[in-house]
Structure 1
Amino acid sequence: MSDVHPARVAADADVLAADLFVDGDARAALDHVRSHSWVDLVASGPLLDDAEAVVAALGDPALAADWRERVEGEATLVSHPEGDQPALAAAHAGDAAHVLSYDETLRSARTGMELKARVDVSVKAPDAFARLFDPEKLYPTVAGGDYPGPDRDPRE
């Protein structure tokens, strides 16, 4: 197992789409990422393909294409073998410590035990991540020094 980075996050396609369309827990969770230049969203082609398809189905293809272009410009892009669960594979390939998903099977204790043998990752629902992620406590470990607060506007 490789060392994971505590400030790297992968989000499943459902979370990425919910972030775009709903002002709720997915947006609150991903605002932590967008608000801090030292926190990275990790994604892969297959993961973005899945999310783009959801965005196109819920919105339209032009919105989906614009969304994907923006995310590709902001995320740390990684590659992984075909057939893997996209968010988990992106997290593994990108050394992310966190996966955000609404999929209860990914968040189950059984899956957690199975994952622990292969990858050091925590799979959480977006609402749990939004509540538990503490940038002030994490900053000294990741960047060093005193936490300066958010350094980006998550809405830009």
Structure 2
Amino acid sequence: MPDRPNPARVVADADVLAADLLVGEAARDALDHVRRHSWLELVASDELLTATESLVAALADADLARAHRDRLERERVRVEHPPEDHPALASAYRGNAAHLLSFDERLGSAKAGMTLQPRVSVSVRSPDAFVTVFDAESLYEAVEGRAYPGPDRDPRE
């Protein structure tokens, strides 16, 4: 695995993936950044999708949860990790992702950062914080090495 995480890879915790579907707002805004750009990748393990499906089923219904999981399976870069690992953190580590979106304040705490940094270099942010700092143009230029052409996908498809 490379020493530096891939800045074009994003992991969204189950709470963010469920909120994207059920609430919208910052979770949807954050994930729309990923969906608008073919060069950005959403990384997720099967365990993360299972956690998301369970959360959506508990908050809405099983049919919606299954349809959402099916969509996520088509959109994601699949990674594997030991089943006992935290699904979002392990997806970020195994998927070499630079960004982890979560509403879990414990993951974004200074204590968590000190624990995580020796093992995995990932920026843990809430979706609204990610939306605030996300700059597609400068990220594209850093990742692709050329001028940003703008979004190339419809996030609603």
**CA deviation digits over 1:40-95, x for unaligned, max 9?**
00000110000000111112111111111111001001000111111000000000
**CA deviation digits over 1:86-113, x for unaligned, max 9?**
1000000000001000001100011011
Q: Aligned equivalents of 1:61 and 1:143: distance in 2?
A: 40
Q: Could you tell me how far 1:144 is from its partner in structure 2?
A: 2.2
TM-score (normalizing by structure 1): 0.97
Q: Could you tell me how far 1:140 is from its partner in structure 2?
A: 1.2
TM-score (normalizing by structure 2): 0.97
SS at structure 2 position matched to 1:97: strand
Q: Aligned equivalents of 1:22 and 1:103: distance in 2?
A: 16
Q: Could you tell me how far 1:14 is from its partner in structure 2?
A: 0.3
Higher mean alpha-carbon deviation, 72-81 vs 54-63, is at 54-63
2:60 matched residue in structure 1: 59
- Sequence identity of aligned pairs in percent? 60
Q: Aligned equivalents of 1:23 and 1:84: distance in 2?
A: 28
Q: Aligned equivalents of 2:111 and 2:134: distance in 1?
A: 23
**CA deviation digits over 1:92-148, x for unaligned, max 9?**
000000100000110001101111000010100000001101110011121221101
2:46 matched residue in structure 1: 45
Higher mean alpha-carbon deviation, 92-101 vs 2-11, is at 2-11
Aligned positions of 1:5-154 closer than 5 A: 5-154=6-155
SS at structure 1 position matched to 2:124: strand
Q: Aligned equivalents of 2:143 and 2:38: distance in 1?
A: 11
Supply the AA of the counterpart residue of 1:151: D
Aligned length: 156
Q: Could you tell me how far 1:23 is from its partner in structure 2?
A: 2.2
Stretches of structure 1 that go unaligned for 5 or more consecutive residues are none
Q: Could you tell me how far 1:39 is from its partner in structure 2?
A: 0.4
